[in-house]
Amino acid sequence: MSETHISSLSPIESDLRRLAAERILVLDGAMGTMIQSLGLDEQGYRGARFDAWNREVRGNNDLLNLSRPDAIRDIHLAYFEAGADIVATNTFSSTAMAQADYGMEDIAYELNLAGARLAREAAVIAQKDHRRRFVAGALGPTNRTASISPDVNRPGFRAISFDALREAYGEQARGLIDGGVDILLVETIFDTLNAKAAIAAILEIFEARGIRLPVMISGTITDLSGRTLSGQTPEAFWN
C-alpha cells in the first residue's frame, strides 16, 4: 500500500473527523438486550428459511439478520431515533468459527452482508432529518483466542491459528463492506493477537480493492487488574 494511499483520508473518515471535532458522537447501545426483549422462542429464531435446521439455533442473534430482518432493522432505527450517530451491525458472532456452534459456517458471509444492509436501511430512514448517520460493521472477538491455551495441561497448545483467524475475519469484513458499512469496528477484543489478525485481514482487503474505511478497535479489560485477558495493559494493547 503506497504512503500516499495510507495518509489520504476517505470522504467518510473526513466526515467523521469533522463531526467529532464539533461534538461527541454517540455509539448505539447493546444489541443483545434489545433482542432479548423480543422474547423469541426457537421458532422465532428459525423463521421459515431455517424451519427444518438440524440443531437448536435459539440464541444465535446474528441469524435474525436473515430470519427476522424487520426486527433487527427496527432496533437499529430505534437507536438512531434515540440519538445515536453510529450503530453497529448485528454481526458480533458472524464469523465462520463462531457460527460453527450452530452448523452455520457456510452462511457467515451472508450474515454480514444482510447485517450491514439492515443497518444501512435504518440509517437512510433516520437521515430524513438531514443529520448524518454512520454504520459500523462489527467484527466480534470470535470464540477462539490466539494467545492463550484452552488446555491448562498444554500451555503451548492453541485452538486456532493466526492465519485461520485472518481468513475468518477477511470473510466477515468482505460481507460488511459489500453491505455498505461506513466503518469497521473490531470490538470487544480480549486478545491482542486476535485484533492483529482482524487488522491484517482488513488491510489486505483495502489493498486488494483500493479502498479505505475508518477502523475502530474496542478492547476489553476483563477485571480489576486493568488488563486484557491476554495480560496486556491498555497502553501495551495500543502499542
**CATH code at 130?**
3.20.20.330
Its pTM stands at 0.91
From CA 79, how far away is CA 85, in angstroms rounded? Answer: 9
Which three cell numbers mark 152?
A: 491448562
Report yes or no: 95 and 141 within 8 Å, Cβ to Cβ.
no
Helix (H) or strand (E) holding 88: strand 86-88
Q: Which residues contact 130 (CB under 8 A, 6 or more apart)?
A: none
Domain count, the chain: 1
pLDDT digits (tens, 9 = 90+) for 192-219: 899 999 999 999 999 999 999 999 999 8
φ, ψ of residue 158 to 5 degrees: the values are -130, 140
Q: Which residues contact 103 (CB under 8 A, 6 or more apart)?
A: 53, 54, 55
pLDDT digits (tens, 9 = 90+) for 93-102: 999 999 999 9
Report residue 5's pLDDT band, with 50, 70 and 90 as the boundaries: very low
pLDDT at 238 over 60: yes
The edge-to-edge listing of strands for the beta sheet with 86-88 is 86-88, 134-139, 183-189, 215-219
Number of other CB atoms surrounding residue 8 within 10 Å: 11
pLDDT in the model for residue 3: 42
φ, ψ of residue 137 to 5 degrees: the values are -80, 115
Q: Tell me which residue range forms the domain holding 169.
A: 3-238
From CA 129, how far away is CA 44, in angstroms rounded? Answer: 33
